[in-house]
Each structure stands twice: as C-alpha cells, then as structure tokens.
Amino acid sequence: MIKAASENGKALTLVCLLTLGYVPLLTLHFWQLWRQPQYQYFPFVAAAAVFLTWNRIGTSSTEERQELGSKIDLYLGLSFAWITLAIATFLLSPWFAMFSFIFLLGIAIRYIKRAYGLTNAFGIWLTLWLLLPLPLTYDQKLVQWLQSLSSQFSSQWLDMCGVLHVMSGNVLRTADKQFFVDEACSGIISVMSIIACATILSVYKNRAYLHFVLNVVMAPAWAMTMNIGRITLIGISHYYFGWDLSTGLAHDLLGLALFLCTFGLLVSADCATEVALAHIEWHQVLDRPGVLVRGFNRLVSVGDPRKALEE
C-alpha cells in the first residue's frame, strides 16, 4: 500500500509539473470566459470541483482503488495531454488548451482515486467540462433558441395579463419603451448557470447516470421558465406601475429571486426523479423478478456511486 501511494504521488507530481505549461493559454481562456456574461459563473464551478474532490478523498473502497489502471495508462494519458497542449500552443487556441487541461485533470483525479480513494470521481471530472464552452458557437445558438422561445411564451403571458405590447424578434416594445430580451436573459444568472447547477447538484447527490442525464436535460427547460417569468414581470411592472426592472439593482434583485425559485424547481425535480427511478422492491410480492423489473433496476443503477459506498 505504501509503495502504491508513493508511485501515485510521483504520478501526481508529474501531472503538476506538466500543468505549468498550461498557464499562459489558460489565463487567456479564463479571461475570455469572464468577458462573456453567461460564463461568469465559472469560478463557482472550479470551487465546487475542488470542494467535492477534497471532501471525498478516502471515501471509496479498497477494491475500487485496486481496479484502476497501470503506469501504461498514465504515460499514454500524459502523452496525449502533452501532444494536445503542443497543438493548442501552435494554434494559439485557449479553447483547445482547456480541453487538454481537463483531460490532464482527469488523469490526476484518476490517480487520486487510485492512491487515496475518491467517491464519484467520474462525476467530479464531468463538472470540469462546464469550464469549456461548446465548440462552433453551439452554446450561443442554444441560448438564442431559448431566448426566442422565451420571447414567444412571454408575449402570450403578457397578452393574457392585458399588457399592450409588440414582440419583434427578441425586442419587447410597449407604448413608450422597448426591452431587449437578450439583455434580460443574460448575465451570471443565465441558462448556462442553471445547467451548471444541475450538473453540480447531480454530482453532489451522487446520482446514477440516467438520473444525472435527466437533471441536465431538464435544466434548459427550467432556465427558459426563469426567463419567461423575468420578461413577463418586466413587462407587467412597467405597463401597470411604471417600474423599470430591466436595468440596475432592481433587475439584479429580480434575477436573483427568480434564480432561487428556479433552483428550488431544480431540486424538487431532482427529488421527484429520485422517486420515479427508485429500485422496484419485488422481494415481498414475487418469488423472482420479471425481465422488465430486472432491466429497470439495472438501468437505474448504472453508474450509481452510492452502490460502491454501500459495498
């Protein structure tokens, strides 16, 4: 055991030394993220990954630690990280450097688990991908699509509330003022931040793969609900009371209040999904489970870190 810990300590040292080569491009990457309001949540993601790793070291079983690979895996992984870093440096691509760095951190997390034990190491590694925007501006396309849907649904709600308005694309026009939907739905409290919350919540609660995917897939729907509520309240407050909730402190407080409500919906949906995906207890009513029962129980158990903890 001492020898294994020593070998893995050397591996982690090698990973740390290789990390120094990422500093220039990663500095540029995080600076670019900070310039995009929808990604300004990234410090919280990094802090959550560090907290989850530190809090769970030494919590997995000895069997799990012995199942992890050999030095060949380490050398192949470090070689891949080094090659991709070289490509990122040649292309001057901060995005590709971050991709390589996340892969390198995956190696570090793997060997932390091997040497010391780490529950749900794969889930912790997945949270790091929140630090990497989707390529080819697919993240912007997703946000724009959700903004378009939010505009349409908000217009219908405003009609039902008797607010005279015109929704032209992503611009809400009343008799004396116009509001930009993209401004109302951007910032640190945005679609991407809700997706990040769903991911971190799933990892924190050690959800199985199916449960994890459902939480993340539902996150854009909750984010769109938040934006519909924000646009509708901005229109109603201006039309009936003359309040401008589209800028300044009032806008920030409104966004924060709706974010907390949305997070509550996210947690509630997570609990409801936990009930829906609970194992079917067949022992008291059947001598043996049917094919569907066995298949369901296996499906909802895939990737469940809690099973490893119980064992």
The verdict on 106 and 150 lying in the same domain is: no
The verdict on 214 and 166 lying in the same domain is: yes
Tokens standing for 222?
């909750």
The verdict on 47 and 114 lying in the same domain is: yes
Please report whether residue 294 resides in a domain: no
For a pLDDT cut of 90, what percent of the chain falls above it? Answer: 27
Domain residues for 15? 2-133
- Rounded-to-integer distance, Cα 97 and Cα 126, Å: 17
At residue 49, the pLDDT reads 93
Instruction: Report the chain's mean pLDDT, rounded to a whole number.
Output: 82
Instruction: Report the chain's C-alpha Rg in angstroms.
Output: 23
pLDDT at 155 over 60: yes
Please report whether residue 282 resides in a domain: no
Please report whether residue 287 resides in a domain: no
Q: What is the pLDDT of residues 188-226, one digit of tens each?
A: 567 888 899 999 999 999 999 999 999 999 998 888 888
pLDDT at 36 over 80: yes
Please report whether residue 309 resides in a domain: no
The verdict on 125 and 158 lying in the same domain is: no
The domain boundary residue, chosen from 117, 133, 149: 133
At residue 183, the pLDDT reads 56
Q: What is the pLDDT of residues 243-286, one digit of tens each?
A: 888 777 888 888 888 888 999 999 999 999 999 998 877 776 66
The verdict on 189 and 259 lying in the same domain is: yes
Please report whether residue 306 resides in a domain: no
The verdict on 9 and 105 lying in the same domain is: yes
- Rounded-to-integer distance, Cα 305 and Cα 96, Å: 30
Please report whether residue 82 resides in a domain: yes
Average of per-residue pLDDT across 42-69 = 75
Domain count for the chain, please give it.
2
CA distances from 148 to 7, 76, 227 (A): 54, 45, 11
